[in-house]
Amino acid sequence: MKHNNTVAVVIGVVAFALALNLTAFADEPVKPTPDDQTATAVADKVNPALSNPSLAAERAPDAFRVKLETTKGDVVILVNRSWAPNGADRFYNLVKIGYYDDVAFYRVIPGFMAQCGFNADPAVSAAWSQAKISDDPVTQANTRAMVTFAQPGTPNARTTQFFVNFGDNSYLKDHGAFAPFGKIISGMDVMSSIYAGYGEGAPRGRGPNQSRVAREGNSYLRQNFPKLDYITKATIVEAE
């Protein structure tokens, strides 16, 4: 019995010492690695409006320019708020919060248009999927170089998807509220060189499946469609 008591005491002392060591380890400051510091810096720069659309609701200037830095070169869009106020306001806010940075032109059809608008992070796309804006009257035609928000097929349902017209698509006025809000004034040759080899999206074509882009983001695109071009950064460069 005495031997058992001695063993129990020793085990208790060892357990207590281990507990002290674990507590000390947990409380001891750990010097961040360079990778940790980089991750923290990136996190600090993430705009909270990316996950909360209600924080991105500013009125856009009457006219402003947006530079799209793409994998093929720079493109400048002149936005005219009077053409489509709701569309211009939405585009202004999305650019300002960095939504279009690292965003793919995932649907490119020669002679028709190039479309983008799914965020690189599917969680951000999901947050914005219900942030719908009211339709604008169509005051301008969808001709070459005009920039327009995509219309999902139901009224008042535009969110983040926009496209650049490659040709005269004026007929779109008969198929929904495809209201141009801006026009490319520099770099249309760049847009014309955006990779179009995948064509229409699945299941109608061999291009990206929009449902999968929404769910998986850029990981799906880069793995399965490596030739796509991207907006690397979008910025508001000046107000008119």
* pLDDT, mean over the chain: 85
| SS3 state at 123 | helix
Give the residues across from 207 on adjacent strands: 201
- Look at residue 119 and tell me if it is in a domain: yes
73-80 and 63-70 strand pairing? antiparallel
- Specify the range with the lowest mean pLDDT, choosing from 40-44, 183-187, 226-230: 40-44
CA neighbor of 113 nearest in space, from 38, 187, 194, 33: 194
- Look at residue 165 and tell me if it is in a domain: yes
Tell me: pLDDT of 176 over 90: no
- Look at residue 183 and tell me if it is in a domain: yes
Tell me: pLDDT of 21 over 50: no
For the chain, what is the domain count?
1
**210 near 48, Cβ under 8 Å?**
no
Integer angstrom CA distances of residue 82 from 137, 163, 184: 10, 19, 16
- What DSSP string describes 81-112? TTT-HHHHHHHHHHHHTTTTTTEEEEEEETTT
Give the residues across from 67 on adjacent strands: 76, 235
Give the residues across from 214 on adjacent strands: none
Between residues 1 and 179, which one has the greater pLDDT? 179
**DSSP3 helix / strand / coil % (the chain, rounded to 5):** 35, 25, 40
**CATH number for the domain including 114?**
2.40.100.10
Burial 156-165 (b: 16+ CB within 10 A, else e): ebbbbbbbbb
- Look at residue 229 and tell me if it is in a domain: yes
- Look at residue 186 and tell me if it is in a domain: yes
Report the predicted TM-score, pTM, of the whole model to 2 decimal places.
0.81
Domain enclosing residue 183, as ranges: 60-239
User: In this structure, what are the phi and psi dihedrals at residue 35, rounded to the nearest 5 degrees?
Assistant: -65, -40
Tell me: pLDDT of 119 over 50: yes
- Look at residue 19 and tell me if it is in a domain: no
- Look at residue 42 and tell me if it is in a domain: no
- Look at residue 208 and tell me if it is in a domain: yes
Tell me: pLDDT of 3 over 60: no
Tell me: pLDDT of 30 over 80: no
